[in-house]
Amino acid sequence: MAKPWGLLSRFLLFSVAFALGMASNFLLRSLPNSATPTTTVIQLADTVPSAPPPPPPRAKKEDQQLGKEEGGGGGAGRVVMLHNMTDDELLLRASMTTASPRIKGISALQALGAPKVAFMFLVRGDLPLAPLWERFFEGHRGMYSVYVHPDPSYAGSPEKGSSFYGRRVPSKEARWGKSSIAEAERRLLANALLDVGNARFVLLSESCIPLFNFTTVHSYLTHSTTSFVELFDAPGFHVRGRYRPAMAPTVTPAHWRKGSQWFAADRGLALEAVADETYFPVFQQHCAPPCVMDEHYLPTFIAAFSGRSSRNANRTLTYARWTPGSPHPESYGKDLVTAELLEGVRNDRNCTTDGGLSDGEICYLFARKFLPAALPELLRLAPRIMGYG
Ligand SMILES: *[C@@H]1O[C@H](CO)[C@@H](O)[C@H](O)[C@H]1NC(C)=O
Ligand SMILES: *[C@@H]1O[C@H](CO)[C@@H](O)[C@H](O)[C@H]1NC(C)=O
Ligand SMILES: *[C@@H]1O[C@H](CO)[C@@H](O)[C@H](O)[C@H]1NC(C)=O
Ligand SMILES: *[C@@H]1O[C@H](CO)[C@@H](O)[C@H](O)[C@H]1NC(C)=O
């Protein structure tokens, strides 16, 4: 008896999740970016609010919630979450959204407005370059959405009114090189999939910057017919050497690939990755250091199926400068950020092995790693060199 009941309740959960998903997608779309009906507020016990600010002139829904939990005070020490679903609920709901949403014959994207780009920030805590991103986003509300996945212990909060406010997703610890990073990436994708307006999904870190203005980035991504996930094969310890025979027969050496963690996925790939119950668990189980899951899972997942690899550009849109022998790319602080550096990366045309770029096509939309100390110089150079701010 247990089994049919399990199936039935799973089916009911699916139906309810689906209905909720459809309903909230529309609600989400009809409201401004930073205030959504699913926003919940979590009070951290170990942070003491400083002097309470004067009460807001007009209590919004969010403020009323705060008022209830805090007796009308407020200020510091709150973590505002996008929702409080568990990973299981989240993945289930996300995997039931569609690759190209259609409602009664018309494309949902058409019905709901311009396709949006989801900017997904996988970070430790603060976003020191947020002021640069704010200038990049300015004037384009409705064409993007932001998701932030910090370490769960992070207690800071962006300013109200910032593009990052209320965009934090329930997170778990993500350790470099461990499967928890790949899980965090998938969690971000799942969150972003819940909004049917999102057509492209870009993974970023706190050290990433946009190299072009919003119009250029949005148009590049939404007009491309591929995802941008770097993938390559090479002999030696750092690529083929990381394959584990225990992954066979699901993951074969023929499909084994490596690539940068920093991807830009279309909706189809995002959905397939979130719904994947075949490759992901095998990687979780067997791809432990020196295997680095976030460098192998998505590239291999794509290479394993021609329907996916034919929709992938096999390169990343996020520049990083690697020096031979160093395990980390170069970091740019205050003194290394120059107009020449930024111009050089913007004009780089050497990102394909087969010289496949057409005239004027851009290699990199984003670049890393920029240190917090580089911010003033970046803000100064952005209007002249990068076309925003
Ligand atoms: C989310 O929060 C609401 C109340 O704010 C609570 O009733 C619900 O159980 C929570 N759900 C989860 C999954 O934590
Ligand atoms: C963005 O940059 C492109 C290319 O440099 C330029 O043609 C366009 O006018 C810019 N858009 C805005 C809104 O500044
Ligand atoms: C990308 O790589 C896959 C797998 O290695 C390959 O099948 C495909 O042809 C490549 N695509 C391009 C555009 O080079
Ligand atoms: C382009 O990249 C290839 C391989 O990454 C490298 O060998 C070559 O020197 C580069 N060319 C230029 C002009 O930078």
Among the ranges given (73-77, 118-122, 201-205, 269-273), the one the predictor scored with the smallest mean pLDDT: 73-77
Residue type, 262: W
Domain annotation covers residue 47: no
- Ligand 3, atom 4, residue with closest C-alpha: 303
Query: 184 in a domain, yes or no?
Result: yes
Closest CA to 227 of 260, 191, 256: 260
Model pLDDT for residues 57-108, shown as the tens digit of each residue: 343 333 333 333 332 233 345 788 999 999 999 999 999 988 875 555 556 5
Does residue 43 form part of some domain?
no
Reduce the DSSP state of residue 366 to 3 states and report it: strand
Per the structure, the complete domain to which residue 340 belongs is given by 17-35+83-386
- Which has the closest alpha carbon to 206: 381, 374, 42? 374
Q: Is 379 a member of any domain?
A: yes
Instruction: Indicate the top mutation candidate among 138, 144, 216, 384 to test ligand 2's pocket, ranked by most ligand atoms within 8 A of CB.
Output: 216
Q: 64 lies in a domain? A: no
Query: Domain holding 281: CATH number?
Result: 3.90.550
Number of helices (H), then strands (E), in the chain: 13, 11
Query: In the chain, which ranges are E strands?
Result: 40-43, 78-81, 102-103, 106-107, 116-122, 144-149, 198-204, 209-210, 264-266, 318-319, 366-367
- Higher pLDDT among residues 42 and 170, named by residue: 170
Per-residue DSSP letter, 114: S
State the pLDDT at residue 325: 84
CB distance 295 to 327 below 8 Å: no
191 alpha carbon to ligand 3 midpoint, in Å?
28
In a domain, 254, yes or no: yes
Position 287 pLDDT exceeds 90 = yes
User: So what's the pLDDT on residue 71?
Assistant: 29
- Please tell me the residue having the least CA distance from ligand 3 atom 1: 314
Q: 12-26, 76-90, 188-202: which range is least confident on average? A: 12-26
Question: Is any atom of ligand 3 closer than 6 Å to the C-beta of 302?
Answer: no
Residue 185, judged by CB atoms within 10 A of its CB (0-12, 13-18, 19+), counts as buried
Q: Note the residue count of the chain.
A: 389
Residue 1 lies in a domain: no
**Which ligand 2 atom is nearest residue 214's CA?**
1
Residue 358 has pLDDT above 90, yes or no: no
Q: Name the domain count of the chain.
A: 1
* Residue 284 predicted with pLDDT over 70: yes
Output the pLDDT for position 316. 96
**d(CA 379, ligand 3 centre) in Å:** 38
Of 308, 312, 315, the residue with max ligand 3 atoms within 8 A of its CB, to mutate for a pocket test, comes to 312
348 located within any domain: yes
Beta carbon of 300 within 6 Å of any ligand 3 atom: no
Higher-scoring residue by pLDDT: 283, 18: 283
